Structure 1
Amino acid sequence: KAGIAKVIDNAVDRWMADPRIKPFFKDTVPQRLKFGLTEQVCQLTGGPCTYTGQDMKTAHATMGVNKAAFNNLVEGLQFAMDDEKIPFTVQNRLLALLAPMHRDIITVR
């Protein structure tokens, strides 16, 4: 879980600094987002965590996320994993677990 938290902290910091997607996070409390995403990724990867946050469809329903913004978010996560020296094969496995969420996160087609 500590390794996941480092990647998520890095990714959230990147997203909040990225002018392409920063507006999506204007009302976001960074520590709350970091905690929730860490729990979510920990659960998805088979860890002992239980994600208690909103489902992705509800959480993103009014945000107006398009495919470009989603791709920018993924890019930030990939850079964060690179920074933390996560092996490429592990990165791919995590991205494969997260990829189906795009259907619920992208609301502008």
Structure 2
Amino acid sequence: MHRHHTAAALLALALVAGCASRTVPSSTYAQLGGAAGVEGIVDDLLNAIVDDERINQQFANADILRLREKLIERICAESDGPCTYTGLTMEESHAGRHITDAQFNALVEDLIQVMTARGIPVRAQNRLLLRLAPMHGDIVTP
């Protein structure tokens, strides 16, 4: 009987240890890969934008280095990372650009494709998109 208790205890300990080693990072920021991950997402997104004829004209005159910096800040902050967004409001930065729902959706599609290609878990993607979605009203021209 003593052997069964010992075997059961060892099995329980092995299961707990196995579960502990498979824990998923708790924050969205961590699941995006931290600072390096967010920078990689933004770099890949900027490359996707250049190739996306649905939206690349909206970025033709953009200061790409500043855009990169502010996108990194925004994604970092919205994913509960250690950043503070210091750019213009979405309304200010998109005023007069006449961005359509289709263009907004194209950018979101590009972001999803980038995160998927980088292996970001779907739950983390959804949490980030949920935080970004309210900006739609300040970006799209009615």
Between the two proteins, the alignment pairs up a number of residues equal to: 108
**Given the alignment of the two structures, is residue 50 of structure 1 paired with residue 84 of structure 2, yes or no?**
yes
Q: Which residue of 1 aligns with 2:131?
A: 97
Report % sequence identity. Answer: 42
Relative contact order, CA 8 A, sep 6+: which one is greater? Answer: 1
CA distance in 2 between partners of 1:80 and 1:11 (Å): 6
Relative to structure 1, the CA distance from residue 98 to residue 76 in structure 2 (aligned partners, 3 Å threshold; closer, same or farther) is: same
Q: Which has the larger radius of gyration?
A: 2
1:6-46 superposed Cα distances (whole Å, 9 cap, x missing partner): 11111111112211101100111222211110111111121
TM superposition score normalised by structure 2: 0.73
Instruction: Say what the alpha-carbon RMSD is for the aligned residues.
Output: 0.9
Local SS of the residue matching 2:98: coil
Q: Which residue of 2 aligns with 1:37?
A: 71
Deviates more, 1:68-77 or 1:6-15: 6-15
1:71 to 96, 105, 126: 105
CA distance in 2 between partners of 1:75 and 1:6 (Å): 17
